[in-house]
A = this chain, B = another copy of it.
């Protein structure tokens, strides 16, 4: 069996755009399988008083510039600063939770990030989300109803609680057993760790 690396992410984290677009390929090259696990990093960050950008315009401006340069470095498209923040009700993240259970999470998350970064639409808003699901050949009404079910809400909350209990406080975080690596820029460290442990 191939080794696995848990990819905890929040659809709404900015640097996660890079990870979503490159992690699978980099992991595959290392012979490691990624498990895509959406969770509510926002609730963890708020509970821990961890607000990296709110009221911090200098740091926020740097983050976008750094993200732009890193995207360029990786050959990932970047067309200017997209709307931010997004997905206020976690609807897109709950759809990602459905997708993770059904095996189409990578496809959905990439498409959602593309809609956010390249079309400047919030994939958590009902219209763009429906459009996104339609393009993927899914039934928007059915998927969104499922995403809003108690079962999926509970699953999303449980994944969040699991992440919190592991010491995870940011997105993306790569986890190999109990060892956690925060940030797209720690993907390679995580894969090296995973290969050697």
Bound together, the chains give a CA A55 to CA B47 distance in angstroms of 11
Bound together, the chains give a CA A49 to CA B57 distance in angstroms of 11
Q: Which of B48, B58, B69, B182 lies in contact with A66, CB distance below 8 A?
A: B182
Instruction: Count identical subunits in the complex.
Output: 2
Q: Which of B59, B61, B189 lies in contact with A50, CB distance below 8 A?
A: B59
Bound together, the chains give a CA A50 to CA B66 distance in angstroms of 18
Q: Does B73 lie within 8 Å of A189, measured CB to CB?
A: yes
A70 part of interface (Cβ distance < 8 Å): yes
Which residues of chain A (57-80) have a CB below 8 Å from chain B?
58-59, 61-62, 66, 69-70, 73
B residues in contact with A70, CB < 8 Å: 189
**Tally of A interface residues using CB under 8 Å:** 25
When C-beta atoms are compared, the residue in chain B nearest to A51 turns out to be: B49
18 pairs from A and B in contact (CB 8 Å cutoff): A48-B56, A48-B58, A49-B55, A49-B56, A50-B59, A56-B169, A58-B167, A59-B170, A61-B167, A62-B169, A62-B180, A62-B182, A66-B182, A66-B186, A69-B193, A70-B189, A73-B189, A73-B192
Interface residues of A, Cβ cutoff 8 Å to B: 48-50, 52, 55-56, 58-59, 61-62, 66, 69-70, 73, 167, 169-170, 180-182, 185-186, 189, 192-193
B residues in contact with A55, CB < 8 Å: 49
Q: Does A59 lie within 8 Å of B48, measured CB to CB?
A: yes
Residue of A52, A58, A185, A189 most packed against chain B (CB within 10 A):
A58
Bound together, the chains give a CA A182 to CA B48 distance in angstroms of 24
Residue of A62, A180, A182 most packed against chain B (CB within 10 A):
A62
Q: Which of B61, B62, B185, B193 lies in contact with A185, CB distance below 8 A?
A: B185
